[in-house]
Amino acid sequence: MICAGKYYVVDSGYANTSKFLAPYRNICYHITRFSSANSREYASMEEKFNHRHACLRNVVERTFGILKQRFRILSTMRPFPLETQRDVILACFVLHNFIARYSIADPIFTAPEMEEVESDANDVALTQLHEDAQDHSRVGDRHKGDRMRQHIARAIWEQRRH
């Protein structure tokens, strides 16, 4: 298993640490720049990592965008303790999946797909995320994060190319 543990998939505004997996800086990152990625080879393992990272972040942002449409608490959540925020998010996912399974004409699923989900300054746990970022900003932790990211990038690079 690659890098067992948990970490946030974050944008380049955060330092890459053992808890915050950031893309490589100064390497092609945004999905729109990869629109023709299937018709060309990646220039480096860092570029391939950044493309996968961007795709993953896009899925997460779209998922939270859908959940925010259904559950307004996710757009206006107070700064509850992290455990409470986690439980609220988990409950929203469980309810959402239940509705998706048993509702034939759910408007969330029949509406046209969103082009792009905008970032929201009130994203759930953002305050806690910034506090965690300061806790993990030590140089040693950054080196550990860089080794972890390099390990993941190498594993992605060595996979059969699509």
Using the structure block, give the residue that is written with the tokens 């792009």: 116
Q: List Cα–Cα distances, 55 to 50, 62, 120, in angstroms.
A: 9, 11, 18
Residue 61 lies in a domain: yes
What would the mean pLDDT of 90-100 be, rounded to a whole number?
Answer: 91
**Residue 62 belongs to what domain range?**
8-158
Using the structure block, give the residue that is written with the tokens 């806790």: 135
Using the structure block, give the residue that is written with the tokens 């915050």: 20
Residue 133 lies in a domain: yes
Q: How far is 94 from 109, CA to CA, in rounded Å?
A: 16
Residue 2 lies in a domain: no
Residue 17 lies in a domain: yes
pLDDT of residue 115: 44
Q: How far is 20 from 142, CA to CA, in rounded Å?
A: 9
pTM: 0.68
What's the domain count of the chain?
1
Question: pLDDT tens across 112-133, in order?
Answer: 554 443 344 334 344 344 445 4
Residue 138 lies in a domain: yes
pLDDT of residue 29: 79
Residue 3 lies in a domain: no
Residue 1 lies in a domain: no
Question: pLDDT tens across 23-39, in order?
Answer: 999 888 777 777 654 55
Long-range contacts of 91-96 (CB under 8 A, 24+ apart): 92/67, 93/67, 95/71, 96/66, 96/67, 96/70, 96/71
